[in-house]
Structures are given as C-alpha cells and as structure tokens.
Structure 1
Amino acid sequence: MALTLLTPPAAEPVALADARAHLRLDATEEDALLGSLLTAARMAVEAAARYALLPQSWRLTLDDWPTQPVEIPLAPVLTLDAVRVATIGGSMLTIDPAFYEVDTTGTPPRLAARRGQAWPMPATRLAGIAIDFTAGHAAAAEVPAPLKQAILLLAAHWFENREPVPLGAKAELPAMVAALIAPYRRLHL
C-alpha cells in the first residue's frame, strides 16, 4: 500500500498575518521564512494526526483488494474521485461509481464493493489498484481550532529556535503541540 500526494492544499489553515501577530512581528522581511514554517508545521501536524486539514488530492495504491472494506488512511475524506484497476493492456480502467459504496464519515473512511458485486482483479501483481480521493476540510474556517493552534505554536517554536536538533537527540513535537493534536490523532493498528 502506498499513499501519494497528487495536489497539495491551495492555502494554509493559519494565515501569515495571524502568525505574524502571534510572534509580535511588525516587519514583513521574514514573511517568506514564516510562510514556509507554517507549511512545514501544517505538514507535521497532518502527519502526526493522519488528518488532512484543507482539500488535497491523494492516491492510495494497492496490489490487491483486501477481504474487508478498503480503509482510506487519511481523514476527513471530502470526495472519492476515482477507483481504477490495471488492465492486461497496461492501462487503468475506471470502475463505475455505481459498483461501490463509500463511507466518508467513518473512522476510518472506507470503500467497499456493493453487495453482490466483486472487485475486478488487477492484471498486474504490483500497484494494480489506484484509489484517488480528496481529503481535508472544505475551508480553513472548518479546521478545528486546536489543530490551527498546534500549527501556530509549532511554527513559532521553529521561528524562535532555528537550530536543528542536536546530534543524538530525538526530534519530537513540543509537548503542548502534541497535546493539541492528540484528540484528532488517528491510530493505525
């Protein structure tokens, strides 16, 4: 199983102006750095929680169909965009959406063939199934406030502490950031 980002979010859930206000910065000469720190902090929060904050397109690639419904490893899922399977000719055949059902609100979100249907087998042994989906909240206003605060605190922490982690030390999220993320974290068993 592989998860590949196809299209990143078009914006960040925490505005540059909000980060500048949090850090009490009046000048704009460090906006490029602060913007990249906001992006990195968002990515770190998303990775720690396995939770997409704003709309972003992903591809889940499988070798074979599982016996249980397919668990989509990222939430919340806004849309399931396409389910494709490899053909003998090497192309990918799109499966009709009427053939399957999707539970985007479940934990985890899931995909299954409808009752009485069986998934078509891919013609290749490796990476023969591609499931494209869009994950994240529809707008920044819908992103939970604790996750926005975690991004803001982490970006500020990195802004104030620009040195890398010392050799031999473990790179961890600051405790307050981890605590803000914890209620949203999706565990993988």
Structure 2
Amino acid sequence: MLKLVTPPAAPVVSLAEAKTHLRVLHDDEDDYIEALVDTAVGMIDGADGWLGRAIAPQTWQLSLDRFPCSDDNGRSGRLHLPLAPLLAVDTVEFIGSDGIDGEISDYRVFGVGSTQPGYIKPARSSSWPSTDCEPEVIRITFTAGYDDVPKGIKHAILLMIGHWFENREEVGDGKLVEMPMASKALLMPHRNWRGA
C-alpha cells in the first residue's frame, strides 16, 4: 500500500501564476481558480495521477508484506519504489520474525534523481532480514518529486486550468470535456509508463 505522508510544501502553480495565465485581475474568483489548480495537479500528480510520478517534493510511505526474494546467485532482490523522481529514502522499517520492530540503515539506493522510479537493495554482502508473517510489516518512507518542476508540466497545468476556466460545463456541444490535447502532449514525455 502506498500513502501520502507529507504533501508538497508549496503549490506547483501559484494562484498568481494561474491568474496571470487566465488574465484575471480581480479577486472574485480566487477560490475557484485555486480549486482548478488543485484539480489539475491532483489529476496528474502522485501514485494515482495520470503521470504516475510525484511532481513536487513530497513524502510517501510504501507498506509491503515481505522483502523481495534473492536471485539465483543469492543476491537480495531489488525493492522498487513506485514514484519518480526519487529524492531520498528516509527510513526502512520492519517487524522482524521475532515480532520486534526494527530499522535498516545499511542499504543502497539506486535511481536518485532519475526519471524512472528508484529502488533499494541491502548493503553488499548482506540480505534483507526475516520478517513477521503479517500484512504490511515493511514500511519504507521516501521523498519523491522534482526540486524544479519541468516547464512542460507547469504549462500543461496552466492549459488545463485555462480550458476548464473557459469551459465550465462537463459536456459542451455534445462532446465530453477532458484533458486538453496540448496538455497531454506536454505531459507525455514525463509519464511513467511502468505499471501504466
């Protein structure tokens, strides 16, 4: 199970940026515009978002039932972290086969800053510990997201906001209103296709 622990500290697109894009000079629709920003970001951000990645730095917790198996050479398997770009692995906690809580501090992190999801492995010449036979006995807390959100993603969000601001009805002229094609084109290079 994957759950958001700490959302981004600041919005990906500020109210001022959205209003500039929309050419809105008054404050009458600030709440509505902020709702559009939240909706656009929510549509593409995080584990359930269209991009399948974290847009701005945010902390997640991945809970697992067991560590990955070793390969044919006896090397412990990779523990994949589902969101990119990975910024840091904060903690790896588990409940041991003896029922006592433990924390692993000696592990290797791969894929920090990569456009693809990262993973962790135990330190060389070691293996994952034995765990209790209960659900979600492993908890990995990690931080993912862009330190500097790519301009294409920000512009796609602005286009979505502009589209929805001008087309407030769900259905218009017999056509369903969805993510604008230009937004999809801007977002496509950033989409995480693993598991999509």
TM range (shorter): 0.7 to 0.9
Distance in 2 separating the partners of 1:172 and 1:179: 14
**TM-score, with normalisation over the residues of structure 2?**
0.83
**Cα RMSD between the aligned structures?**
2.1
Q: Does the Cα contact within 8 Å between 2:58 and 2:145 map onto a contact in 1?
A: yes
SS of equivalent to 1:154: helix
Corresponding position: 1:36 with 2:5: no
Q: Does the Cα contact within 8 Å between 2:62 and 2:140 map onto a contact in 1?
A: yes
Q: Does the Cα contact within 8 Å between 2:170 and 2:176 map onto a contact in 1?
A: no
Q: Residues 55 and 157 (structure 1 numbering): CA distance in 2 closer, same or farther, change over 3 Å?
A: same
Q: How does 1:12-161 map onto structure 2 within 5 Å?
A: 12-46=11-45, 47-67=49-69, 68-87=77-96, 92-96=101-105, 99-103=106-110, 104-106=112-114, 107-138=116-147, 142-161=148-167
Q: Residues 7 and 31 (structure 1 numbering): CA distance in 2 closer, same or farther, change over 3 Å?
A: same
- Equivalenced residues, count: 181
Corresponding position: 1:176 with 2:162: no
- Return 156-165 or 175-184, whichever deviates more: 156-165
Residue ranges of structure 2 left out of the alignment (5+ in a row): 70-76
| 1:77 Cα deviation after fit | 1.4
Equivalence for 1:187: 193
Q: Which has the larger share of helix?
A: 1
Q: Does the Cα contact within 8 Å between 1:45 and 1:147 map onto a contact in 2?
A: no
**TM-score, with normalisation over the residues of structure 1?**
0.86
Distance in 1 separating the partners of 2:162 and 2:140: 36
1:109-133 C-alpha deviation (Å, 9 max, x unpaired): 1111122111112213311111101
| 1:76 Cα deviation after fit | 1.1
Q: Does the Cα contact within 8 Å between 1:49 and 1:181 map onto a contact in 2?
A: yes
The structure with higher relative contact order (CA 8 Å, sep 6+) is 1
Runs of 4+ in 1 over 4 A off after TM superposition: 88-91, 169-172
Distance in 1 separating the partners of 2:168 and 2:101: 46
Equivalence for 2:74: none
| 1:11 Cα deviation after fit | 1.1
Q: Residues 80 and 170 (structure 1 numbering): CA distance in 2 closer, same or farther, change over 3 Å?
A: farther
Distance in 2 separating the partners of 1:170 and 1:35: 23
Equivalence for 1:8: 7
Percent of aligned pairs sharing the same letter: 38
